[in-house]
Structure 1
């Protein structure tokens, strides 16, 4: 049991990666829509590229979406609407009519008696409310049949039999009430009835909608049957019209039949193998070309998490409505990975993610082409993500690429622009706008996974930050030295294509450990008194070496990212504090070299190697007396060659050519610092 635990302990990193690999495979399979894959690819308006296709089984021909929409629209236009009839309204109208007529009637003005007018008015009201009155306007024809619901009774009438309140005055007719044709009497009656009348009919939306739904549900989605063995399409025949719809029907039926209980396990195995191949390519790429990422389980988890997130979001959108698939801002993925790692990792992971999504999106070739091209543009155009203008420009370029690509595919598929769907351009714009949320996402991922991006590096490079201000106050000489090293290292990093922002920030913080004992370092000794003169060489060396440990502790206390702490750890590698080692050796003759040696580790990246060179060269340049261009060139060569002989750069993926370029930059910068010119021969 103990041996098993030891094996697990020694191999916990690889065990975790295996677990992550398997878990990711199962999660992606779970996210995927459950259905088989049709084994033929075809496009509308293109020739059939395979042999003659015969129906492998009998299946129904599905109606196309346009036909179904037309039938649904016809149902909605022909449905008989339901109206509710309120019998209590009429009683109130009669009371109001009697009251208003009594208030307005004057014997001397009208020839017809009030009682006769009342009888005539009530008869007119009875006629108006025979089928009801409404104040709503509907787009129905006069002959349209409607249902009138009065309690539990339902009667059929035509729409023109319902009285509209706007037409009441026109419908009030004295002759129909057998009253004198005197205009004054008619006007009075019309005015009073118009005021008293109230609507008692309104549309019963619930019943009408239920009737519409029932009729739509009753629509037959099929329009015919293809018997087994019947020829569907011949080789070279253009796929259009009925042929296209029959193939779409076969595809839908095939995919639904393949995903059955008997085939369920085999389909899962097929999906699992393909997904595992994609994930295996990711792990192999990281192991071969990005070993530092591969060995960091947090970083590997972060990459896999982003892949799963994009697969999940795209799957949800496809299930809701596949036409919105381009709204998903897939280009956020390479942006985020480039911000935390480098462009090659971002592009490689983006391509693998697009390959996975090709299983679930419609028109997979078109989708994969557009997304891969957009990902490449993202990687090529976005530099220095921390500059907001760069992000806006890149988003505009990404959106433009989507639009151009979609336009080209429409021309290829349709041969004209008549089938162009303008709303698709809106989806591309929405995707571009969603890409702008990359900054909040980067901040969220930094907190969740403890990583650091270029955006955070920009914030850390601010010399007005609390920690750098403290360094400037406690150890002003060290602060000035750090600024000079930062400038040298940044220029060298730009020359060889390393991360210049990262190395600059690392240089600014690499000596913060000197704040613990600032006067023991020559750059902070203002009065020229060297405090080491009173100490034993071993004790002095311990103080000098200790600034690395102190720096790590201060950095952790101030919550600096691990990528910055790496510069503090490695900027001296495992080199020896040679001055005190030589002093002790001359005095005692036999000393332990480890007492004067930095704890390491060695620089393990181009950036940490650059900092070691720049730090050593800048510090040593202060000891030059009457510096000349030749002296500077020679001492830069001597220092860096000495570091190479000590094997300080063995763990760094830096080449001899890059080291030569770094030497050249450092020489040029130091010459500028000391305002030197090239010496001309006499």
Structure 2
């Protein structure tokens, strides 16, 4: 297939908007995927145990080391000591039994034993024997009598002191618990405590059997409490995580079994696991591509995105994603350099060159892509801090960039953006758990400030490239072209003042109509200013510029007149091309008469001869191909027709407007314009209302002579 046929075929297919939008979405998706591929791909290593690592390897994911976690759980459970339950009943019983012995001794000492025992002389042995008769405990009866003998021989104060010391000591040891294997140790502790008292040493020795009697195990093993403690210990063990970015092995380090297991756990030895993150990334990027296609295709009825605008989207996507990728190489956990990314450049340029809604949609998409690029090469992780920052800075730039009249508007937007970037950066620092000092605030804040400055400079610098290099017609350029000081408009004003006034009126009607039907009102207004520029070649051949002079057409053949009149769209297009005005304006100037019939000279020729071909009196076209071109074409005819009337009233205006709309539809002049019947109906109402406001009734003031006559 020849080169000419290939180009012809491509041009044929590119007539379809949906195909161009689809190709744009595919290219953007390819850029996203190719530059985020390395952020989710996990490289697999061919490593053997007990070999030296050839490079430093870090974990690409956060994953639990289950074996290490289980080992720590076992250690925690084994470290739990057996739990014992202390019986307060044993404590009270034993202390009460010891106290009972002392109480019985005091009772015996206070009684008249001679009468009770019927003896004239009472010995210590008698008291001991009597005591054993009074107590019920068999163990007390079998106790060595020396302890009782010693207590009876001691004075009352020593017995009370012994009682208090033994009772308090028992309470102390029972409070902490006495286990079965701790009885001897506890007895010695009590004896030692008594030995430090003021009691006689012989009495302390004699009290040993009583202490042995009082000490009894009161702390018993509790299976329930032990199990509960082990459960708590098990639950208290934190899972052992191998965190994303954590160094597993350093270059030159020996690959031990433990290190090898960590490499297996993180999937660094498994080539198959690397496929899943890539599939997930591909799905995400396809979804973003689908959003791009649907957004571009959604508004195709009202907004025609030319191939040049779509090329601008692809170029901007490639540039900003590439910039983010380069910056990501230098980002660390301690240095969030992504704050310096001038991503607002894209949002501002897309709004200026294309449309605000498209800029908002792409802002969301770029923020998502940025959160992947700055994920520190950790599959499955999105850097939400970077994503939110990118989204905020782009939306803020779109909001501040309300209307671009000149470069100053972009600079003002940059100033507002710098303030918002600083605020956002400080917000992230304040929300962080980490403590930052003043130097960090200044450093990271300067990143956000520089991002705004760089974005502003890039926007101002790149805008002429897209406007001139790609020939994209932006609102800022349209506003520049609408200035009365523009050389071509001054030429029109000076050489064809009537046409200039007519163009101003057409511009007002065209802008109002386009705004009502959702077309580009600013483009229609500016194009209307230039649509009759071709009349400056022969200005006096057009009635609005004759200003009382004789009509040159009265001396010309109808064919000659028609040729002069029908030439002005072509002449206008040539002048516009020579001055390198945007193609959209050139097209409207060339199409504003379509292939309509120049009826006046056609019927004038028919009056002279019946052998007249209609084709000789039709404009060469082409027909209006856009809504804006069709609107200018209709408003041009309507304004000229209404202006030719003398003081037209509302009914006349409505009749003229309706007839011109009907004539254009029947003549097929609107077939290529994408205007709907609903659009035409809306345009009729808007044009009629606007013209009625221009040609409203005025009070007829009497002249000076009539006023004198009235006097």
Give the TM-score, by structure 2 length.
0.59
Quote the offset at 1:560 in angstroms: 0.9
CA contact (8 A) 2:40 2:281 kept: no
Determine which of 332, 355, 364 is the counterpart of 2:345.
Answer: 332
Q: Deviations over 1:469-505 (max 9, x none)?
A: 2223332221222222223333444455543332222
Deviation at 1:237, TM superposition (A): 10
Aligned to 2:485: 464
Residue correspondences, number: 489
* 1:648 maps to which of 664, 669, 675: 669
Distance 2:587 2:273 in 1: 53
SS at match of 1:457: helix
Q: For residues 469 and 247 of structure 1, do their structure 2 counterparts lie closer, same or farther at Cα, with a shift above 3 Å needed?
A: closer
Tell me the CA shift for residue 308 of structure 1.
0.3
Residues in 2 aligned to 1:400 and 1:259: alpha-carbon distance in whole angstroms: 48
- Alignment pair present for 1:310 and 2:314: no
> Does the aligned pair in 2 maintain the 1:502–1:607 contact within 8 Å?
yes
Is the 1:629–1:678 Cα contact (8 Å) retained in structure 2? no
Instruction: Give the C-alpha shift of residue 423 in structure 1.
Output: 4.1
Matched, 1:564 2:615: no
In the aligned structure 1, how far is the partner of 2:418 from the partner of 2:514? Answer: 32
Q: Residues of 2 paired with 1:291 and 1:319: CA distance? A: 43
Q: Which residue number corresponds to residue 8 of structure 2?
A: 9
- The TM-score, its normalising length taken from structure 1, stands at 0.61
Aligned with 2:485: secondary structure? coil
Pairing 1:590-601 to 2, within 5 Å after superposition: 591-601=612-622
Q: Which residue of 1 aligns with 2:644?
A: 623
Match of 1:249 among 233, 246, 251: 246
**2:597 aligned with 1:602:** no
- Of the three residues 314, 318, 329, the one matched with 1:319 is 329
Shift of 1:632: 2.6
Q: Gaps (5+ residues) in structure 1?
A: 39-51, 60-235
Counterpart Cα distance in 1 of 2:269 and 2:543: 76
- How far residue 650 of structure 1 moved from its aligned partner, in angstroms, is 3.9
CA contact (8 A) 2:541 2:553 kept: yes
- Give the aligned partner of residue 38 of structure 2: 34
Specify the alignment match of 2:462 in structure 1. Answer: 441
In structure 2, the partner of 1:63 is: none
Instruction: Indicate conservation of the 8 Å contact 1:555/1:565, yes or no.
Output: yes
SS at structure 2 position matched to 1:455: helix
Q: Is the 8 A contact 2:588 2:629 kept in 1?
A: yes
**8 Å Cα contact 1:29/1:268 also seen in 2:** no
Question: Do residues 371 (structure 1) and 390 (structure 2) align?
Answer: yes
Inter-partner Cα distance in structure 2 for 1:610 and 1:503: 8
Distance 2:623 2:478 in 1: 23
Secondary structure (helix, strand or coil) at the match of 1:450 reads coil
How many Å separate the matches in 2 of 1:56 and 1:546? Answer: 85
Partner in structure 2 of residue 187 of structure 1 = none
Rounded Cα–Cα distance in structure 1 between residues aligned with 2:397 and 2:559 = 55
The 1:432–1:586 alpha-carbon spacing in structure 2 relative to 1, beyond 3 Å, is same
Native 8 Å contact 1:354 1:371 kept in 2: yes
* Contact 1:293–1:299 under 8 Å retained in 2: no
- 1:30-69 to structure 2, matched below 5 A, reads 31-32=35-36, 34-36=38-40, 54-55=64-65
Q: Secondary structure at the match of 1:625?
A: coil
SS of equivalent to 2:40: coil
Distance 1:342 1:490 in 2: 18
- In structure 2, the CA distance between the partners of 1:247 and 1:450, relative to structure 1 (3 Å rule), is closer
The 1:382–1:19 alpha-carbon spacing in structure 2 relative to 1, beyond 3 Å, is: closer
Are the counterparts in 2 of residues 36 and 256 from structure 1 also a CA contact under 8 Å? no
1:275-333 Cα offsets, whole Å, 9 max, x none, are: 45544543454345348988743332221000000011111111123512122221221
Alignment of 1:152-167 (within 5 A): none
Q: Distance in 2 between matches of 1:56 and 1:456?
A: 64
Displacement after TM superposition at 1:557 (Å): 1.0
Q: Distance in 1 between matches of 2:590 and 2:341?
A: 42
Contact 1:283–1:294 (CA under 8 A) maintained in structure 2 = no
Q: Secondary structure at the match of 1:579?
A: helix
1:210-609 matches, within 5 Å, as 246-249=243-246, 274-275=284-285, 278-279=288-289, 281-283=291-293, 285-287=295-297, 289-290=299-300, 296-321=306-331, 323-362=336-375, 363-387=382-406, 390-391=409-410, 394-395=413-414, 398=417, 402=421, 414=433, 421=441, 423-437=443-457, 438-496=459-517, 498-589=519-610, 591-609=612-630
2:111 maps to what in 1? none
- 2-side partners of 1:55 and 1:333: how far apart? 44
Cα distance between partner residues in 1 of 2:675 and 2:68: 66
SS in 2 for 1:320: coil
Measure, in 2, the Cα distance between the counterparts of 1:498 and 1:538.
37
Equivalent residue for 2:688?
A: 667
Query: How many Å separate the matches in 2 of 1:259 and 1:14?
Result: 48
Structure 2 distance, partners of 1:641, 1:57, is 84
Relative to structure 1, the CA distance from residue 367 to residue 645 in structure 2 (aligned partners, 3 Å threshold; closer, same or farther) is farther
What's 2:152 paired with? none
1:244–1:571 CA distance, 2 compared to 1 (3 A): farther
Instruction: Answer whether contact 2:63 2:242 (CA < 8 A) is retained.
Output: no
Distance 1:244 1:409 in 2: 26
Distance 1:8 1:462, change over 3 A: closer
| C-alpha distance 494-387 of structure 1, shift in aligned 2 (>3 A) | farther
Alignment of 1:111-260 (within 5 A): 246-249=243-246
Q: Deviations for 1:207-243, whole angstroms, at most 9, x for unmatched residues?
A: xxxxxxxxxxxxxxxxxxxxxxxxxxxxx9999xx97
| Structure 2 residue aligned with 1:179 | none
Equivalent positions of 1:79-94 (< 5 A) are none
1:436 counterpart SS class: helix
- Give the root-mean-square deviation of aligned CA atoms: 4.4
Seen in structure 2, the aligned counterparts of structure 1 residues 7 and 482 have a Cα distance that, compared at 3 Å, is same
1:635 to 647, 656, 669: 656
Q: Structure 1 residue 429: deviation in Å?
A: 2.7
Which residue in 1 is equivalent to 2:213? none
Larger Rg: 2
Give the Å deviation of 1:543. Answer: 2.0
Indicate the SS of the match to 1:11: helix
Compute the displacement of 1:562 (Å).
0.6
Partner Cα distance (2:487, 2:298) in 1: 40
1:72 aligned partner = none
- Listed one character per residue, the Cα deviations across residues 436-480 of structure 1 (whole Å, up to 9, x for unaligned) are 222222112223212222222222112222222222333222122
Shift of 1:387: 4.7
Structure 1 residues 306, 256: CA separation in 2 closer, same or farther (over 3 Å shift)? farther
**Inter-partner Cα distance in structure 2 for 1:462 and 1:507:** 13
State the alpha-carbon separation in 1 of the partners of residues 558 and 397 from structure 2. Answer: 56
